[in-house]
Each structure stands twice: as structure tokens, then as C-alpha cells.
Amino acid sequence: MKAPDFAYARPASLDEALALLAAHGGDAVPLAGGQSLITTLNMRLAAPALLVDLNAIPGLAGISEADGVVRIGAMTRHRDVGTDPLVRERLPLLAAALPHIAHPAIRNRGTIGGSVALADPATEWPACCLAGEATIVVRGPQAERRIAAENFFLGLYTTALEPGEIVTAVEFPVPGPDAVWGFEELSRRHGDYALAGLAATARRGAGGLTGVRLAFFGLADRPVLARAAAAAIEAGDVKGAQGALSGELDPPEDPALRPATRLHLARVILGRVAGRMLDKPAQDGVPHAV
Amino acid sequence: MPSDAPDRDTAVAREHAVSFTLNGERVRCQVPARTHLGDLLRGTFGLTGVHLGCEHGVCGACTVLVDGRAVRACLMLGVQAEGATIETVEGLSESGRIRDLQDAFHARNALQCGYCTPGMLVTAAELLAECAGEIPSREAIRAAISGNYCRCTGYHAIVDAIATTAEARAARETAE
Ligand SMILES: Cc1cc2nc3c(=O)[nH]c(=O)nc-3n(C[C@H](O)[C@H](O)[C@H](O)COP(=O)(O)OP(=O)(O)OC[C@H]3O[C@@H](n4cnc5c(N)ncnc54)[C@H](O)[C@@H]3O)c2cc1C
Ligand code: FES
Ligand code: FES
């Protein structure tokens, strides 16, 4: 189908973009990679009056490291996030997640800021943000806000973002030398949205794993940190962790897949990821090549 | 077509002037904001090799190269072409850059109705350019074309054609 009629502007600065959003209230929306927004326009599921294109704003894309933090600009394309040498070295979890996000042509254009702002519960970057203790950096007309990922994803396509605010960056603390991670995703076909997915981080010492963070996606109306399961993994009890998941996840009703089946898949991927984080070197966990 | 349109158009409008490089030529036109790049390329420039299947990013038939990268023409607005370098299957064909790939598609019977073919060729062109002489595994080829639907061939012949081209290019590179 064809998109409804709308106006378009391509501001050359963040301030100009914020001013446009403020002036047009709820009728204006930011346009990032367009890989979700333009689909909803073409399907006429949305009818904004104005698209404010973020693509020409200098400084919104790019990856840098300072003071123990890797900063990923909101307009950094999925592909550039996952293939960046700094990300591959410091945040291998993100590099492992990349091949699971859609297909090459969509990864070439979609952005990390767009994924985070959209908050589709079955997607990879929001879960990586939770597992990696990321901070979402947001600019509004008045001020900048820094929101911990745990307080950012509030529900189905719902975030802490206020109308008129723009995500400017996602910041990840650099994991320490004892960090381990794991990533698993099950989907029907390569590049499909997840049926069940898990992004996990932890620290490994002589006594086992500590600081375990298990961020499940595709298993509730938002990405979920499974805390009871994480505590069980820290105690070395993988079976107990798998058992705890029924109390922590809330798989969606889906005619193609029963909630109980999804929960089963969550236990399966937890078993894989936990086994790997407990036994194997930190670099293990890449399911298959890009 | 106003020739005095500003180079950087930041105005709020339902229609904009755009200028970009299309298959090696500098072009300029007016385009409504709501027109996606696929319709602009087909309607204004007659490049009907840009096939439209689903218009929501799923089928891959509309794939073109934007600044050297494969992009869904149905998920980019025509106005966003401003300043970009865009190549369609027509441009890739005329330049001879994918002649070997096209010959391999022909030889392997990697097309039947041909609807998916432009998108497959553009997607494969990006993969082959990225491999730069390395031979991608069949699994990597399948992952690369996972966003391109073919309802006719069953994919095996397409994977064969891309693999054959990659091998031939790698062999040529070693010989040189
Ligand atoms: C066929 C297909 C398969 C896909 N599969 C997957 C998948 O498996 N995993 C996955 O993660 N994604 C998938 N996607 C979605 C894709 O990754 C999108 O790129 C992503 O969800 C949104 O990013 P975007 O930059 O394209 O944002 P857009 O589509 O431009 O915007 C999405 C929403 O976020 C808002 N927004 C965007 N940027 C900002 C910002 N900086 N500040 C505030 N608001 C903003 C927009 O106003 C809009 O409401 C798929 C898409 C398609 C078409
Ligand atoms: S028409 Fe663009 S992906 Fe199907
Ligand atoms: S040849 Fe008919 S869709 Fe691929």
C-alpha cells in the first residue's frame, strides 16, 4: 500500500529537530532508519502530519569510548554497531546479536536509537541494553535525561521517552576482564523476530558466576530481567533457574505459538547460555557467522 | 523542476526538490514527501527493474544500492535520496559490474518468473563486494539473501549462482 500524505523536514541540527517536534506537538514524529516507521506508514497504521528526519543531524551517529563507557550514537545503523571494531572488542554481546536482527538491507538502514525508541518486545537491542546495563541518553526541548535501561522499557512499544524527546545515544559500561556473556535466539526463519531470545552477562570468578543478568526478549510485553533465575544461576543451579522462569516471564498469546511452548523455548536457551557461561571461555556464545 | 532550489532544503513541506546521483548520472526532481524511493525510481525515472512486492520491507524485490549499501527502496522516502549515490539493477547491468553474476544466474537457471531477480542480484552484489575475494560459505550466502523471497526457484540455484561467482572472482584475483 501507499503511505498517507504527510509533510517532511530534514533539520540540520538537534536543536532544530527538537524545535520542530515541540512546534507540531503529537502530530510530528522523528524518522530514523524508517525500517519500522515507513512500514507502518505504508500499511496506513499511522498517519503523522510531519516526519522530522534525523538523518542529516551531525554527530548523532558514531561510536566512541571514554572513561570506561562505550557511547553509541542513536543514528548508528545496526550493521555499524555490530561490525565496529570497538564494539567487537568491548561489547561482544552486541556483535553476537547483530546477525539476528532482520536482514542485511534492513541492518544497513535501521538504527539502534530507532530500535530502542520503538521498544518492540521481540527485538535484540533493548534486551542487550538491559543485560549490558546501558543508559539511554535522551534530549528534550529543555534538558538532557539519562535513563537506565531498567527504567526505560515500560511495556509494549512503550518507553520512558516523553513526547518531543529524541534518543541521542546509548551508553554501555565497558565490562571488566572477568566478564562473560551469552546470546541465544530462536526464530522460525533467519532474520525473523524472536520466538524466544536471551542476552546475558555475568562475571566469572573462582567461586562461579556473580552479577548475572538475564535479559529475555519475545517472552513478555517488554524485555525482562529474570532476577530469580539469575540468583539460581549464581548458586550454580541451572535447573532451578529454568524452573523460576514461569514466575518471571509472561509469554504473549499468539495463535502460532502457545505461551507454554514459548516458555519451554526460554528454558532451552537459558540452559544453553548458562552452560556456556559456567564452563566455557568468555568468547563462546556466537551462534553462527554473520 | 526548479533549478534554483537550495542545496540543503530544511523546510517543512509536502513536496521537496531532490538531487542525487542515479546510475552514474546527476539527476534532480520534485518529489512528494509520501512517495517512497521505489515509486520515485519507477515512476519518475522509469527504472522498472525496481520491483515492488510487499512495500513493507519483507520481500526484498525492491532492493537498490544507496551509497554502496543494499537498501529497501520501499522503506526509504524519495526525498531522502538527497545527495546520495543510488544504483539500481539497470545501472549495475549497464556498467558490466555484475555481468559474471548475471551469467551465473542464467547458467544455473537461478530465475524463473524473474520477479525476485533484481533484488537478488543487488543483494548478492553487495555480498560479493564485501567478500572482496574471500569465498562466502553457503550458509553465509543463505543468511545474506534471507530477506529476499523467491516463490519459484527454491533458492538452491540462486545460492549456486552466487557461490560460483564468488569462486570465479576469487580465482581471478589469485591469478592476477
Ligand atoms: C522485514 C523486517 C524484519 C525486521 N526484523 C527485525 C528483527 O529481527 N529485530 C529487530 O530488532 N528489528 C527488526 N526490524 C525492525 C528494524 O530493526 C528497525 O530498524 C527498528 O525497529 C527501528 O529502527 P529505525 O531506525 O528503522 O527507526 P524508525 O522506523 O525510523 O522509527 C521507529 C520509531 O521510533 C521513533 N524514533 C526513531 N528514532 C528515534 C530517536 N532517536 N528518538 C526518538 N524516537 C525515535 C520513530 O518516531 C518511530 O516511532 C525488522 C524490520 C523489517 C522491515
Ligand atoms: S517491496 Fe520493498 S521489501 Fe517488498
Ligand atoms: S524467480 Fe520467480 S520469484 Fe524468484
Residue to substitute from B56, B76, B86, B135, interface A, most A β-carbons within 10 A: B56
- Residues B71 and B125 occupy one common structural domain: no
Phi and psi (nearest 5°) for A158?
Answer: -125, 130
Domains located in chain A, CATH noted: 7-53 (3.30.43.10), 63-172 (3.30.465.10), 179-277 (3.30.390.50)
Q: Side by side, which strands form the sheet with A196-205?
A: A179-186, A196-205, A208-217, A224-225
Q: Which of B48, B70, B58 is nearest to A39 (CA)?
A: B58
Residue B143: closest C-alpha in chain A: A190
How many Å apart are CA A145 and CA A38, to the nearest integer? 27
Please check whether residues B104 and B40 belong to one and the same domain.
no
Residues B120, B79 within the same domain:
no
DSSP assignment string, B97-156: TTHHHHHHHHHHT--SS-SSHHHHHHHHHHHHHHHTTPPPPHHHHHHHTTT---SSS-SH
Could you tell me if the CB of A63 is within 6 A of ligand 1?
no
Cβ contact A27:A50 at 8 Å? yes
Number of domains in chain B: 2
Q: Are residues B144 and B117 in the same domain?
A: yes
| Closest CA–CA distance from residue B86 to any residue of chain A (Å) | 14
Is B3 a member of any domain?
no
CATH of the domain at B17: 3.10.20.30
When the pLDDT of each residue in chain B is averaged and rounded to a whole number, the result is 94
β-strands A50-53, A7-9 pairing: parallel
Residues 6+ apart with CB under 8 A from B85: B20, B21, B66, B67, B68
The answer as to whether B109 is a domain residue is: yes
For residue B29, the cross-strand partners are B18
What pLDDT score does A285 carry? 36
B86 and B70 assigned to the same domain: yes
Calpha distance A150→A126 (Å, rounded): 10
Same domain, B81 and B126: no
Cβ-proximal residues to A19 (8 Å cutoff; 6+ apart), any chain: A11, A141
Q: How far is the CA of B7 from the centre of ligand 2 (A)?
A: 30
- Boundary residue ending a domain (B72, B92, B112): B92
| Whether residues B103 and B78 fall in one domain | no
Side-chain-side CA neighbours of residue A194 (13 Å): 35
Provide φ and ψ at A131, rounded to 5°.
Answer: -65, -40
The C-alpha cell 553462527 sits at A288
Which ligand number lies closest to the CA of residue A17? Answer: 1
CA distance B12 to B32: 12
Q: Report if residue B21 sits inside a domain.
A: yes
- CATH code of the domain containing B156: 1.10.150.120
Closest CA to B125 of B75, B53, B63: B63
| Residue that terminates a domain, selected from B92, B126, B150 | B92
Give A4 to chain B, closest Cα distance, Å. Answer: 7
Shared-domain flag, residues B131 and B141 = yes
Using a 6 Å cutoff on CB, does residue B70 contact ligand 2? no
Give the pLDDT score at B8.
Answer: 54
Distance B54 CA to ligand 3 centre (A): 14
What residues make up the domain containing B130?
A: 93-175
B1 is a domain residue: no
**Which residues does chain B have with pLDDT short of 50?**
1-7
Are B88 and B98 within one domain?
no
- pLDDT tens across the length of chain A (290 residues): 899 999 999 999 999 999 999 999 889 999 999 999 999 999 999 999 999 999 999 999 999 999 999 999 999 999 999 999 999 999 999 999 999 999 999 999 999 999 999 999 999 999 999 999 999 999 999 899 999 999 999 999 999 999 999 999 999 999 999 999 999 999 998 889 999 999 999 999 988 999 999 999 999 999 999 999 999 999 999 999 999 999 999 999 988 899 999 999 999 999 999 998 987 433 333 333 33
Residues B116 and B157 in one domain: yes
Do B28 and B84 lie in a common domain?
yes
Q: Are A74 and A112 in contact (CB under 8 A)?
A: yes
Residue nearest to atom 5 of ligand 1 (CA): A102
> Does residue B2 lie in a domain region?
no
Whole-number Å distance, alpha carbon A112 to ligand 1 midpoint, is 8
The ipTM is 0.94
Same-domain pairing of B122 and B163: yes
Q: Which three cell numbers stand for residue B39?
A: 515509486
B122 is a domain residue: yes
Which of B62, B92, B122 is the endpoint of a domain?
Answer: B92
Cα A216 to chain center, whole Å? 11
Model pTM score: 0.95
